[in-house]
Amino acid sequence: MSRKAAITGVSAYLPDDVLTNFDLEKIVETNDEWITSRTGIKERRILKDDRLGTSFMAAEAVKSLLAKTNTAPEEVDLVIVATVTPDYFFPSTANLVCTQVGIPNVGSFDILAACSGFIYALGMGSQFIEAGKYKKVIVVGADKMSSIIDWQDRTTCILFGDGAGAVMLEPNEEGNGLIDFNLHSDGTGEDHLIMKGGGSRFPASQSTLDNKLHYIRQEGQAVFKFAVTKMADTAANIMEANGLTGEDIAYLVPHQANKRIIDATARRMGIGEDKVMMNINKYGNTTAGTIPLCLYDYESKLKKGDNLILAAFGGGFTWGSAYIKWAY
């Protein structure tokens, strides 16, 4: 049997501060009924301490992952962090995480694929294991979305939250682990979901500040149309390619951007709500964090050999899916 890369532990970090829909009613012209019915979100977590960036949350998730899996920092071979809110352009957030956790001198890098980042990073990390190069690879999805939110823009500020999830990947010879994955992108999504300022096209300046280019901007309806089709397509395609029907699936692990998008994906897969991991009500959209946070919340319900389908869609556009046989 060929070697697979299996998730052998999941951990997470969520900031303590909770921002509810009712709190948001006091900040922008919105209401709990609108947010709940359009998105499924009731509250989200916010990392309030201005001195802390995404690396803090990622490092906390990794520290508890190491404790939970009885792993010494010296045993880790590689760390990959998926994020769109790195502490800096460089050094990478993964570099900072290694130092904060005390993982010495290993390779570490960030992946930028927006809401699909965790699936991209999982696919990447698994290749090192399958090739026999590494034995312990940590994959993190983490975002401090509150750092790029315009709190006057009611179309975006109600959607996002902060959080981090981390998984350990190790070799598995029993046929469990990452069986298949698909990655996609389409740069024509640029105009629909973007943070324009601060890069080489619009370097930070008085003008980028005045024009609020350092905030996330989204044309919600346009993104919704793509998301609903592409996330369902990629989930259905990976099932078909692997000969799976809805009955074979233990759980859909979807990116948590909008409950309506998740419901549409589940319908297309032919599975009921009971087989859908959902925590958007508690955390909102934590971008690269959503999928590992789902795995963390549902870990106790999972059994060895369970078939999971991960699916995500996000800025870029990027989208992708993964088929995992749970290993413990």
Interface with ligand UT7 (CB under 6 A) = 30, 34, 38-39, 115, 154-155, 158, 220-221, 223-224, 227, 257-258, 261, 285, 313-314
CB of 34 to ligand UT7, least distance (A): 4
Residue 90: phi, psi to the nearest 5?
Answer: -150, 150
Nearer to ligand UT7, 118 or 313 (CB): 313
CB of 266 to ligand UT7, least distance (A): 15
Nearer to ligand UT7, 13 or 224 (CB): 224
Nearer to ligand UT7, 178 or 216 (CB): 216
Catalytic-labelled residue, pool 21, 95, 182, 285 = 285
CB of 27 to ligand UT7, least distance (A): 10
Catalytic-labelled residue, pool 95, 172, 255, 294 = 255
Structure tokens of 13?
A: 């970090």
Residue nearest to ligand UT7 (CB): 220
The reply to whether 115 belongs to the active site is yes
Q: Which long-range contacts (CB under 8 A, 24 or more apart) does 238-246 make?
A: 238/180, 238/181, 238/182, 238/309, 238/321, 238/322, 238/323, 239/269, 239/309, 239/323, 241/180, 242/179, 242/180, 242/323, 244/307, 244/309, 244/323, 245/270, 246/270, 246/271, 246/275
Nearer to ligand UT7, 76 or 195 (CB): 195
For the chain, what percentages of helix, strand and coil (3-state, to nearest 5) are there? Answer: 40, 25, 35
Catalytic-labelled residue, pool 98, 115, 157, 294 = 115
Task: Count Cα neighbours of 114 within 13 Å in the Cβ-side half-sphere.
Answer: 24
CB of 43 to ligand UT7, least distance (A): 14
The dihedral built from the CA positions of residue 151, 199, 122 and 91, taken in this order, carries a sign that is negative
The reply to whether 214 belongs to the active site is no
The reply to whether 255 belongs to the active site is yes
Q: Are 295 and 9 in contact (CB under 8 A)?
A: no
Residue 188: phi, psi to the nearest 5?
Answer: -70, -5
Nearer to ligand UT7, 141 or 177 (CB): 141
CB of 38 to ligand UT7, least distance (A): 4
Measured in whole angstroms, how far is the alpha carbon of residue 170 from the centre of its chain?
20
Q: Are 160 and 47 in contact (CB under 8 A)?
A: no
Active-site positions? 115, 255, 285
